[in-house]
Structure 1
Amino acid sequence: MFLNDGFAASSPSARGTVRLLGAHISGQLNCRGARLENTAGPALNADNLRVDQDVLLSNGFTASSASEQGTVRLLGAHIGSLSAGGARLTNTAGPVLDGDVLRVDRDVALDDGFTATSTSEWGTIGLAGAHIGGILACGGARLENTIGPALDLNSVRVDQDVLLDDGFDAISGGDEVAVLALAGARIAGGLRFDTDRMTRTAPGPGPLIELDGLTYSGLPRPASLPGWLTLLREHTPRYSAQPYQHLAAAYRAVGHDRDARTVLIAQRRDQIQRAGLTVAERAWGRLIGITLGYGYQPWRALLMLLATLALAVTLSVIGGHHGGLAQKPVTSAAAGCTTIDQIGVGLDLGTPLLRTGARDRCQPTDAAAGQILIIAGWILQLLAWSFATLFIAGFTSAVRKT
């Protein structure tokens, strides 16, 4: 079916300018270079259309509408492929492409200068629940919505790659609405995604992307790991563990275990910040973060235990040199402890269960330095036991990591 090479049609009908509901075309639907307009309904109304080969909306194809139904409607359609490179679609009251539950056997190309502008709560491009058997390519596209998402890919299924880079430009003016919706999307191939030109025009903060439930193969590109963590932490509508867990699994799958741990630590920090935990839960989480890296870096507690030990030895030596330690029995003429004994007392104070025997020979005096050592010893013992316990708990994964 050929509606191309300068074909033009306009209508004020709510039923559609070109109406192909339930039609079956065994070859192509070729609308290259066509111009369709409608002031009250869809420009192309093709719900449940079946096209065995290609739907071509490229080479200067333009369509405009002022209808909540959408400019181009392909709800429930089943087509071979969709090529809309360079097309220009507008709608002042609804989406420009409504393709919910659309089934495409091969590729969907909304690239090479594809431009879409709408005013719709449901998204400029709506492909929620669609199944694309090939690639979804939006490189170089420009999508704009004054009140809703620029691209709605919630629950979409793509059997190959999703390309949202190479100059992909998405703009939304909606309050608390993500510019790009990818919740529950399943991508069997890779995800190439560039946020440099993704913006919000609404005043105040708001999310750029909804990712909860998104799955993909391999590592997302081209953003770096810090860039992805910033996106997950600062530009999503709420805390969700799944995007972090999937990203960590992707890094682990390619052997980047350190990066995987970095992702999981970032997840715990975001959970503490945005997950609505109680004050006690946040305090415990921050303590575990400082001492154990949320269970992924137990060596932190070991370093703190060693620091406690060094502090205990230092205090014992300094206190001993200022009359804080004396050999037993304590008398007015009692001799001061040797430096070795002072170090031994420090080791006894700074490590749990370790006994050097130095405290059997030396004990704190009644002098000010001796009393300080007694009080410091209580605190150091508490710290030593705490850090030792935390290290064992972290090393044995007894501390909950997620």
Structure 2
Amino acid sequence: MENAEYLAGEAMLAQACRTNGTADLAGLDDRTVRAEVIEQLLLAPDAADLPVRGIRLANALVTGPLRLNGAQVNCPLVFDGCDFYELPEFRDAQLLSLAMPGCHVPGLDAEGLQVHGSLRLQGSTRLGRRFVSTGQLSLLGARIGGTLYLRDADLSTPDEPKDVYPLNASRLQVAHHFSCTSTRVDGQLRMINAKVGGVVNFRGTTIRRPGKLCLQAERLEVGESIWFGNKFTAEGRVLLNYARVGGTVDLAGARLLAPEQLTESEGPAAGTISLRALGIRIGRDLLVTKGFHAEGGLELTSAKVTGKLSFRGAEKCGSGERIELSGVSAGTMELLFTNRPSGELNLRNAHTELLVDDPRSWPEMIILDGFKYGRLQPESDVSIAQRLDMVRRGMQGYLPQPYEQLATVYRSAGQEQEARRVAMAKERARRSRLGLPGRAWGVVLQATVGYGYRTWLAGLWLLGLTVVGAVAFGHGQATPIVDRPPPFQDVVYTLDLLLPIADLGQEKAWQLGGALQWLTWTYVIAGWVLTTAVIAGLTRALNRS
């Protein structure tokens, strides 16, 4: 195309790209630039004369499809505040850098794009314009050598056609960071199998797809952290299954609204769900804190958090839905909700080294079977009665493990008395499920030897029965039943009745009549019961050792 055929704006661009300047068409009556002119300047044989220059175009109206599919462009491309009437195409192109601040586009086809530097699809501070895409912005399989900027942008698709998304960044690879802040997305944002070497930042962004899946980032790999943070809003479900995050996932202050409705066949968190992150691996902390608000349930089954899993200051975690933490592993677990969750908290088979909690934020239903924790918060003011109440919450039937775990933690902290109380509570719970004979024998064991944890009680019973028997038998009339009996001694006679395995010579030599005869038989039975209880208690103590 000869220069004489250029429109006014195109002539400015042709001159600017050779002088490393910017062609700003804001003052022109006709701001039209044909896409084919841009292609010619970049791809014509003499384009090689511009290795360190580039295309810098501002406030233009770009007509026609800009097709740079498969092109190799070794100079920067900057479109500042431009309006593209047709879809720009960069499929499998290799670019030095691409910036489109404040541009309005009907989508962007950049599948397989390779950018040596950064890709900027963001608002323009200079012009006060947001980046707007009204069709699919496809970065499927793209590779960015620097940072991907998607700030101050509005992304949408008309009528949400099938398999068309406002942002499709599946299999995207970004060497540095992905900055998607203060952006509005109407539809689903996809990052399946994407890889980001640095930080993924969603602070201030709103993703709207009410009642459906709005953020799909399964198997996302992030070298550093994911920041949702304050003012992030998702209307729909956030999906982070099997993601790998080297740093922290920060959900502090995030708002998850309009959750997706699930059915019973779709998993244990049936009902509505706001966040699902099955099997996620986090190198540092998972912070569901400081005003976090979720209208639906949370499901973190089998998540692994090296540092801290914290709900400190979380305002709302569902509207009666389950908080699913089964199989979760965390260095520290902070269950410090601002408002008591109205749904069930499932900690089945979860594990943490340090548990920090507060009875005021415990839900009514807590599943603790298989939950293992190494320590409780030092100097915690939670009483043992409150701990036992937590153990019993959500327990259907008798489950020994929650009691045994709590007793083990108390014992390892040197709190033997508390450990014994928990063990006794476990025995009471176990025997409460037995039949009448088992429950009756449980009452005897508790009263006489404290289920083997208070064997000294047997000594008190022996002393008390001996005193009462000695007084009663000492005031009775003893009759010898053998020739040349030993002298009658009321204390020794009482002990001879109470100790069935000992022969002190009194019971065989003397007999008491009347009502005292019934008392002697009662003492013999009491002796056998007491001895059996002591043996049972000692056996249990030896088994624990």
Report the equivalent of 2:137: 18
CA distance in 2 between partners of 1:142 and 1:366 (Å) = 84
Q: 1:367 Cα deviation (Å)?
A: 2.5
Residues 1:320 and 2:434 aligned together: no
Report how many aligned residue pairs link the two structures: 350
Counting aligned pairs with the same residue, the percent is 19
Report the equivalent of 2:83: none
Report the equivalent of 1:46: 169
Secondary structure of the corresponding residue to residue 544 of structure 2: coil
Secondary structure of the corresponding residue to residue 200 of structure 2: strand
Q: 1:130 Cα deviation (Å)?
A: 0.6
CA distance in 1 between partners of 2:504 and 2:302 (Å) = 64
CA distance in 2 between partners of 1:200 and 1:48 (Å) = 32
CA deviation profile, 1:332-363 (whole Å, cap 9, x unmatched): xx9x9766447645xx62x675x483844886
CA deviation profile, 1:234-276 (whole Å, cap 9, x unmatched): 244xx531x2x2x1x2459x999x999x979976997663769
When residues 280 and 235 of structure 1 are mapped into structure 2, their CA distance, relative to the original with a 3 A threshold, is closer
When residues 9 and 289 of structure 1 are mapped into structure 2, their CA distance, relative to the original with a 3 A threshold, is farther
Residues 1:78 and 2:195 aligned together: yes
- Tell me if the contact between 1:61 and 1:86 (Cα under 8 Å) persists in the aligned partners: yes
When residues 364 and 158 of structure 1 are mapped into structure 2, their CA distance, relative to the original with a 3 A threshold, is farther
Q: TM-score, normalised by structure 2?
A: 0.54
- Tell me if the contact between 2:452 and 2:536 (Cα under 8 Å) persists in the aligned partners: no
Q: 1:89 Cα deviation (Å)?
A: 1.5
Report the equivalent of 2:365: 234
**1:278-357 equivalent positions in 2, closer than 5 A:** 282-283=433-434, 300-313=453-466, 315-317=468-470, 319-320=472-473, 323=476, 327=478, 329=480, 340-341=491-492, 344=495, 349=498, 353=501, 355=502, 357=504
When residues 387 and 212 of structure 1 are mapped into structure 2, their CA distance, relative to the original with a 3 A threshold, is farther
Amino acid across the alignment from 1:193: F
> Which consecutive unaligned segments of at least 5 residues does structure 1 have?
12-16, 66-70, 119-123, 173-178
Structure with bigger strand share is 2
> Which consecutive unaligned segments of at least 5 residues does structure 2 have?
1-118, 124-129, 262-271, 338-354, 402-429
CA distance in 1 between partners of 2:226 and 2:443 (Å) = 45
Amino acid across the alignment from 2:504: G
- Tell me if the contact between 1:364 and 1:371 (Cα under 8 Å) persists in the aligned partners: no
Residues 1:132 and 2:245 aligned together: yes
When residues 371 and 153 of structure 1 are mapped into structure 2, their CA distance, relative to the original with a 3 A threshold, is same
Q: 1:54 Cα deviation (Å)?
A: 1.0
Aligned equivalent of 2:397, options 265, 273, 295: 273
When residues 385 and 168 of structure 1 are mapped into structure 2, their CA distance, relative to the original with a 3 A threshold, is same
When residues 358 and 114 of structure 1 are mapped into structure 2, their CA distance, relative to the original with a 3 A threshold, is farther
When residues 221 and 272 of structure 1 are mapped into structure 2, their CA distance, relative to the original with a 3 A threshold, is closer
When residues 131 and 30 of structure 1 are mapped into structure 2, their CA distance, relative to the original with a 3 A threshold, is same
Deviates more, 1:378-387 or 1:220-229: 220-229
CA distance in 2 between partners of 1:225 and 1:321 (Å) = 60
Q: 1:50 Cα deviation (Å)?
A: 0.8
Amino acid across the alignment from 1:240: D
Report the equivalent of 2:521: 374
- Tell me if the contact between 1:344 and 1:359 (Cα under 8 Å) persists in the aligned partners: no
CA distance in 2 between partners of 1:107 and 1:289 (Å) = 56
Aligned equivalent of 2:327, options 193, 204, 213: 213
CA deviation profile, 1:205-255 (whole Å, cap 9, x unmatched): x53x2222211114546577564898598244xx531x2x2x1x2459x99
When residues 50 and 216 of structure 1 are mapped into structure 2, their CA distance, relative to the original with a 3 A threshold, is same
Report the equivalent of 1:14: none
Q: 1:291 Cα deviation (Å)?
A: 6.3
RMSD over aligned Cα atoms: 4.4
Amino acid across the alignment from 1:61: T
- Tell me if the contact between 2:293 and 2:315 (Cα under 8 Å) persists in the aligned partners: yes
CA deviation profile, 1:181-202 (whole Å, cap 9, x unmatched): 1211111112222375234335
Amino acid across the alignment from 2:186: S
- Tell me if the contact between 1:304 and 1:387 (Cα under 8 Å) persists in the aligned partners: no
Aligned equivalent of 1:386, options 513, 533, 539: 533
**1:103-252 equivalent positions in 2, closer than 5 A:** 103-118=221-236, 124-144=237-257, 145-147=259-261, 148-172=272-296, 179-194=297-312, 197-201=315-319, 206-207=321-322, 209-218=323-332, 220=334, 222=336, 227=358, 231=362, 234-236=365-367, 240-241=369-370, 243=371, 245=372, 247=373, 249-251=374-376
Report the equivalent of 2:215: 97
Q: 1:35 Cα deviation (Å)?
A: 1.3
Secondary structure of the corresponding residue to residue 397 of structure 2: helix
CA distance in 1 between partners of 2:500 and 2:185 (Å) = 77
Secondary structure of the corresponding residue to residue 273 of structure 1: coil
Q: Report which of the two structures shows the higher radius of gyration computed on alpha carbons.
A: 2
Report the equivalent of 1:32: 151
